[in-house]
Amino acid sequence: MRIGIAGTGRMGSAIARRLASCGHELRVWNRTRARAEPLLQEGLRWADTPRELAQASEIVISMLTDGAALAAVYDGDRGLFSARAGDALFIDMSTVPPATQQEMARRAAHAGAAYLECPVGGSVGPASEGKLIAFVGGSETDLARAQPVLQQLCKRIEHVGGHGAGATMKLAVNLPLMVYWQTLGEALSLMQPLGLDPKRAIEILADSSGGPNMLKVRGAMIAQALAGQASGTVTVDLATLRKDLAAMLEEGGAHGRQLPLTAATLASFERAAARGLDGADCTQLPVWWLAEGGRAPDAT
């Protein structure tokens, strides 16, 4: 199948490589070509514009930063939706507010385009192995068309409703994880006086009833970060976590729901960002909390 990938960041690149390994013909586009160069060197093709990408593809998958990026890539005379002559199915996997996806669906209908939202649970590792979890919003007809490709990317595909439903589900699934990064730092601060080796401390937490799957998967990376031996690899940065937390609070407020733990977590992460951690990997959050965050005057 001819598949286009719009957005070749960490996740977009992992998805492109996975689908190429499954035998598909891949074309890619990114706002800055340099970010796509590793993929091009591996044999994937380049599209000069989103419109060209859509015209050359049967399915286009977008993985973009936010609503502004979605509008920039899909709209305009060189955007994905401008390829009216084509019949591509557009699948957006970006993590954005539900209202953004509902607006994107309206734009797609106006352009006569088939559009699914499909934010996914999982990071680069699961994407590379085809073990993501998909939260789909849109029509059953479009999902049936997307199913063969999604099955190669995802271990589980959940159709949770119309456009906007997938985004709601993704925010809900991410919320406990976001809060856990904060609680992990606080738990480690209680253990700090014991002087345990970081690897041992993380293994104890991971094996306990309070150890989520994330700790089992990322435990080694967290322990390395705590020991001052971080690899420097950025899987998910703090800026992305803050964006998602803000979207959770916005969605909760829209439905009259209070999310006090989410609000407190965002406030803590904003303090970390003010200290220069916005581009740092999420595993640096407990490191920052032990070194500074938990000792800040406004933390008491």
Q: Domains of the chain (ranges plus CATH)?
A: 2-161 (3.40.50.720), 168-299 (1.10.1040.10)
pLDDT of residue 293: 85
Of the pLDDT bands very low, low, confident and very high (cuts 50, 70, 90), residue 299 is very low
pLDDT of residue 84: 64
104-110 average pLDDT score: 95
| 216 pLDDT above the threshold of 90 | no
| 86 pLDDT above the threshold of 80 | no
Contacts of 20 (CB under 8 A, 6+ apart): 26, 42, 43, 44
Of the pLDDT bands very low, low, confident and very high (cuts 50, 70, 90), residue 300 is very low
DSSP assignment of 163-219 equals: TTHHHHHHHHHHHHHHHHHHHHHHHHHHHGGG---HHHHHHHHHTSTT--HHHHHHH
156-166 average pLDDT score: 98
- Among residues 163, 180, 162, 175, the alpha carbon closest in space to that of 252 is found at 175
- Mean pLDDT value across the chain: 94
